[in-house]
Amino acid sequence: MGSANFSDQLQRAWDLSNSQLCVGLDPDLSRFPAEFSHTPQGIEDFCKAMVDATAQHVCAFKPQIAYFAAQGAEKALENVIAHIRKVAKHAVIVLDAKRGDIGATARQYASEAFERFDADALTINPYMGTDSIEPYFDFPDRGLFLLCRTSNPGGSDLQFLDVAPGEKLYQRVAKLAHERWNPHGQTGLVVGATFPAELAAVRKIVGDMPLLVPGIGAQGGDIEATVKAGRNSKGLGLLINSSRAVLYASQESDYAECAARVAEETKLAIAKYSR
């Protein structure tokens, strides 16, 4: 998107869209409307249709790479991202890949995300520590969303462990992200809407750092609780993701209209509790 600072890119996306909704692109062949083929071309066509239907209601799109790669549809992903660039120029593109490795391998993942797919940001698993994150700093204008307090119940197996008196592991990740892992203003955290108390705790630690928040819609996270817990000092700071509830609002011929309606309703519900 051309800005030297990813935080500036996000602020522009929020301002131009008047939205904190992020639509996840998770193309599940089993849930496609009948007119879309179960092929890479069908995946591309479906995702482009969802982008067209929802672009005016979102600040970001989040394609999940596994849904494309499993079907040999990486070229379709490239084409979908190019399409977003054309029809939703305001939107930030977050490639959801949850990469986690060190050194030369991490640099290859960075090249994949930012050069091959031209994503604005990437989700990263930080649990190998500092040297699993530093290679991405070579792309200072691209964003990094580090897994912190994820929306799945099993996240508590590790993320809720005590690492010091009064400090959970997810809180340590948030502290490191805020104090050491953000040299270019490019870092944010992934914190699930299903844990609003923990979301509020993370916000207290990281100040105005952006948060990618999955877990509303199909996963049951509450929008009011999420926004009130996670909004920053400006009433913004969130990319609240909804995937299945928007993409599969209908599997009939009205799929585009239904996706647009759910996206708009979600956007407005988020806005009600912002600022």
Digit-by-digit pLDDT tens for the chain (275 residues) are 444 589 899 999 999 999 999 999 999 999 999 999 999 999 999 999 999 999 999 999 999 999 999 999 999 999 999 999 999 999 999 999 999 999 999 999 999 999 999 999 999 999 999 999 999 999 999 999 999 999 888 989 999 999 999 999 999 999 999 999 999 999 999 999 999 999 999 999 999 999 999 988 767 789 999 999 999 999 999 999 999 999 999 999 999 999 999 999 999 999 999 87
Q: What is the model's pLDDT at position 218? A: 66
Q: Is 149 helix (H, G, I), strand (E, B) or coil?
A: strand
Q: What is the model's pLDDT at position 1? A: 46
User: Quick one: tokens of 233?
Assistant: 């000092």
Instruction: Domain 6-272: give its CATH code.
Output: 3.20.20.70
Q: Which residues contact 70 (CB under 8 A, 6 or more apart)?
A: none
Q: Which residues contact 151 (CB under 8 A, 6 or more apart)?
A: 192, 193, 194, 195, 214, 215, 219, 221
Write out the catalytic residue numbers: 98
CA 226, CA 42: separation in Å to the nearest integer? 34
Q: Cα-atom radius of gyration of the chain, to the nearest Å?
A: 18
C-alpha distance from residue 65 to each of 43, 122, 157, 161 (Å): 12, 11, 25, 29
Q: Which residues contact 81 (CB under 8 A, 6 or more apart)?
A: 63, 93, 117, 118, 119
Q: Which helix (H) or strand (E) holds 23?
A: strand 21-25
Q: Which residues contact 198 (CB under 8 A, 6 or more apart)?
A: 149, 170, 191, 192
Model-level pTM greater than 0.75? yes
Q: Which residues contact 60 (CB under 8 A, 6 or more apart)?
A: 13, 21, 22, 23, 91, 92, 93, 94, 239
Kindly give the pairing relationship between strand 143-149 and strand 60-63: unpaired
Domain boundaries, the chain: 6-272
